[in-house]
């Protein structure tokens, strides 16, 4: 592995069809720009296509296919992808929110779980036979504080619906644990049923994006806003570096299935990408299977 792997290390992506969720700004937008520059055919699934004009040039926008999808709503994901006519080499599940005040979607799912996990779960299931190489999820160091109670299907369903005791960071950490468990189970099922793709996870460390404090529309308190703005100059890395783990997971040749990619320095807060390790809960196959069953149950209830 190149110790200073960066976007110049990415092999040509000519002809690669790549879908990225949540690409109006931040990590998703940067990943789209880099992969586009490498020759990939980029499709983005975003809630507000109009916002892309603030991030991408007109030349870039002319080359990107834009799908309007609210990944927090199963009905929106199904409307777009249930009969989608197209294939992708790679799908990057990037859309996410972080530590927001308690809120549920109109479908009865806790908002962080709906956005960070359940919508992507349904997206990948719907495109399952149309993905040819890779699925990449964007997890977080916060998975270390995530939990699913006793790990039963019913307790997981309760958590995803927001019926367990709510703390913003506790729930966020649990959604990121869900990302890693989903990746684990997805690999097991792809291997079992002979699907050609493999799944990988990544995390950006501490990267300066608007994820930490651009939450006025959710009535977020200003305390966290001030914390992130104060900490960013000392700990936050530039988005060009923070996006590298996603790009590594999406493009590095012959990457072992279920690899987890994160920054290499300062306790994985910053640095060039490398294979890192998640905690033991994220590698619990029984818990991963229970999460899968719980997710299917909830989607069936929404239908």
- Per-residue DSSP letter, 25: S
Ordered alpha helix ranges (H), the chain: 26-37, 58-63, 74-81, 111-113, 119-126, 153-160, 168-193, 222-235, 239-242, 244-251, 285-302
Does 272 participate in catalysis according to the annotation? no
C-alpha to C-alpha distance for 35 and 251, rounded to whole angstroms: 9
Nearest to 19 by CA among 81, 112, 62: 81
Beta bridge pairs of residue 135: 91, 199
Phi and psi at 131, nearest 5°, equal: -100, 125
Which one of 166, 197, 206, 272 is the catalytic residue?
Answer: 166
47's tokens: 């809630």
Give the catalytic positions in this structure: 166
């Amino acid at each position: 592995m190149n110790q200073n792997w960066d976007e110049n290390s990415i092999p040509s992506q000519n002809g690669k069809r790549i879908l990225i969720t949540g690409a109006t700004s931040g990590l998703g937008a940067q990943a789209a720009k880099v992969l586009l520059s490498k020759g990939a055919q980029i499709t983005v699934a975003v809630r507000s296509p109009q916002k892309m004009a603030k991030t991408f040039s007109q030349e870039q926008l002319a080359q990107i296919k834009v799908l309007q999808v609210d990944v927090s709503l199963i009905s929106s994901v199904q409307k777009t992808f249930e009969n989608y006519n197209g294939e992708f080499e790679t799908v990057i599940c990037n859309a996410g929110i972080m530590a927001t005040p308690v809120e549920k979607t109109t479908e009865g799912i806790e908002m962080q779980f709906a956005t960070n996990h359940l919508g992507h779960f349904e997206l990948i299931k719907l495109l399952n036979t149309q993905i040819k190489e890779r699925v990449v999820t964007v997890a977080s160091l916060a998975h270390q504080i995530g939990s699913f109670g006793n790990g039963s299907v019913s307790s997981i369903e309760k958590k995803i619906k927001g019926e367990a005791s709510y703390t913003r960071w506790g729930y966020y950490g649990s959604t990121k644990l869900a990302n890693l468990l989903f990746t684990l189970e997805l690999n097991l099922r792809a291997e079992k049923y002979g699907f050609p793709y493999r799944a990988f996870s990544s995390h950006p460390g501490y990267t300066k994006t608007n994820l930490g404090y651009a939450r006025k529309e959710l009535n977020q308190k200003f305390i966290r806003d001030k914390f992130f703005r104060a900490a960013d100059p000392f700990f936050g890395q530039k988005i060009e570096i923070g996006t590298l783990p996603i790009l590594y997971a999406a493009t590095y040749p012959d990457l072992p299935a279920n690899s987890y990619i994160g920054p290499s320095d300062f306790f994985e807060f910053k640095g060039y990408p490398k294979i890192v390790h998640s905690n033991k809960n994220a590698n619990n196959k029984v818990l991963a299977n229970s999460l899968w069953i719980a997710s299917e149950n909830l989607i069936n209830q929404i239908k």
